[in-house]
Structure 1
């Protein structure tokens, strides 16, 4: 039951992320939530989640450095 709930929540958030890619919205947040839900049961999703977290950390540090000037 828990797996069905997490996978359906992951699918829903991925679909919302795809919709928000087309219309303005927080698509990246929905993709990360979807990957988080999938990462409990699928190791490939866990690797993509770690990759997205590292990329987001680097891009935020870059923007902080540029905006601090």
Structure 2
């Protein structure tokens, strides 16, 4: 039951992320939440989650540097 709930929540979050790519909204947050839910059962999703987290960390550091000037 828990596995089905996590997979469906992850799939729903990923779909919402895709919708928010087309419509302006917080798509990256939904992608990361969906990958987090899916990473419990799919190792490939865990790799993509790590990749997204690294990209988000780099972009936040870049923006902080630009705003500090």
Q: TM-score range by the shorter chain?
A: over 0.9
CA distance in 2, matches of 1:42, 1:28: 19
Moved over 2 A (4+): none
Superposed displacement of residue 13, structure 1: 0.4
Partner residue, 1:11 = 11
SS at match of 1:40: coil
* Match of residue 41 from structure 1: 41
- Aligned alpha-carbon RMSD (Å): 0.4
**Alpha-carbon shift at residue 18 of structure 1 (Å):** 0.5
Return the offset for 1:23: 0.6
Shift of 1:53: 0.3
Q: 1: CA distance between counterparts of 2:33 and 2:10? A: 7
TM (norm. structure 1) is 0.98
Per-residue CA distance 1:32-65 (angstroms, 9 max, x = gap): 0000000000001001101100110010000000
Unaligned 5+ segments in structure 2 are none
Which residue of structure 1 aligns with residue 28 of structure 2? 28
